[in-house]
Amino acid sequence: MKRILYDLAAADPALRFSPYCWRIKLALAHKNLPFETIPWRFTEKDKLAFSGQTKVPVLVDGETIIHDSQAIAEYLEITYANQTSLFGDAASRALTYFIKQWTELTLHPVIVKIVLPDIYPQIDQNDQPYFRQSREAVFGKTIEMMAAERDSHLPAFDSILAPIRRTLAAQSFIAGNAPSYADHIVFGALQWARLMSRLTLFDDQDAITLWMAALLNTYGLSQ
Ligand SMILES: N[C@@H](CCC(=O)N[C@@H](CS)C(=O)NCC(=O)O)C(=O)O
């Protein structure tokens, strides 16, 4: 059975930078499910028409088409219940939901202010007018204004990472001794930042760098 993930790509098709797609790549690997990815660009809406969606991730699992990272993770957990759980018990699942909300409402908004000006030059030329227009409308300022303000957001980014760094000093993964979907969610956000920022956000010995490498290594993934 074919399992295909539509995965956001930059101009370089090997550069995959969606935080939500990264969650799902780790989740699929966690469930030990082989998959292929199709690189997808922001303006290739026609390629997703079969799913009725305009955003990725979209997963095609045999005959089943699922979209939205949370729905995909829940689908994988139920459909492949015999494989290692993504969430753990009911209490861990509830805590994972908090991690999702914290990541999307606290971590992502700071990351985007730092990386958005660096994303623009790296995406496909065909995507650039759409990206500029849509993002400038959301943020109410030009990409160049965001670039000028970028460094002022670095202290906030460091403060937000402090609890992650302190947690990883005491335990191997956010979920404890072994990774779970909580790790996948936070990894997705920081991978987006790490891959797209022109700044070195994490040095080699940073607990975050080591944890990200350990996660990729656990699942035999690269990038
Ligand atoms: N809530 C969705 C968010 C998906 C999302 O925002 N995907 C972005 C890539 S990170 C996208 O496809 N954007 C297309 C666009 O902006 O046109 C999820 O969890 O999957």
> What is the residue whose two structure tokens read 């070195």?
200
Q: Is the CB of 40 under 6 A from ligand 1?
A: no
Q: Is the CB of 191 under 6 A from ligand 1?
A: no
* Residue 59 identity: L
Which residue pairs from 57-61 have beta carbons closer than 8 angstroms and sit at least 24 positions apart in sequence?
57/5, 57/6, 57/7, 57/18, 57/20, 57/21, 57/23, 57/24, 58/5, 58/6, 59/3, 59/4, 59/5, 59/6, 59/24, 59/35, 60/2, 60/3, 60/4, 60/5, 60/6, 61/1, 61/3
Calculate how far, in angstroms, residue 55's C-alpha sits from the geometric centre of ligand 1: 5
Q: What is the pLDDT of residues 74-119, one digit of tens each?
A: 999 999 999 999 999 999 999 999 999 999 999 999 999 999 999 9
**Sheet of strand 3-8, all strands in order from the earlier edge strand to the far edge:** 36-40, 3-8, 58-61, 64-67
Mutation to probe ligand 1, out of 20, 104, 185 (largest number of atoms < 8 A from CB):
20
Q: Is the CB of 42 under 6 A from ligand 1?
A: yes
Q: Is the CB of 104 under 6 A from ligand 1?
A: no
Q: What residues form DSSP beta bridges with 39?
A: 7
pLDDT in tens, the chain (223 residues): 899 999 999 999 999 999 999 999 999 999 999 999 999 999 999 999 999 999 999 999 999 999 999 999 999 999 999 999 999 999 999 999 999 999 999 999 999 999 999 999 999 999 999 999 999 999 999 999 999 999 999 999 999 999 999 999 999 999 999 999 999 999 999 999 999 999 999 999 999 999 999 999 999 998 7
Burial of 3 (0-12, 13-18, 19+ CB in 10 A): middle
Q: Is the CB of 185 under 6 A from ligand 1?
A: no
pLDDT for 221 equals 93
Residues 183 and 175 sit within 8 Å (Cβ to Cβ): yes
Mean pLDDT of the chain: 98
Coil vs helix vs strand at 37: strand
User: What is the CB neighbour count within 10 angstroms for residue 142?
Assistant: 13
Mutation to probe ligand 1, out of 22, 48, 56 (largest number of atoms < 8 A from CB):
56
Question: 47 to each of 61, 120, 150, 177, how far by Cα in Å?
Answer: 17, 22, 33, 40
**Statement: the pTM of the whole predicted model exceeds 0.85:** yes
Q: Are strands 64-67 and 58-61 parallel, antiparallel or unpaired?
A: antiparallel
Calculate how far, in angstroms, residue 127's C-alpha sits from the geometric centre of ligand 1: 14
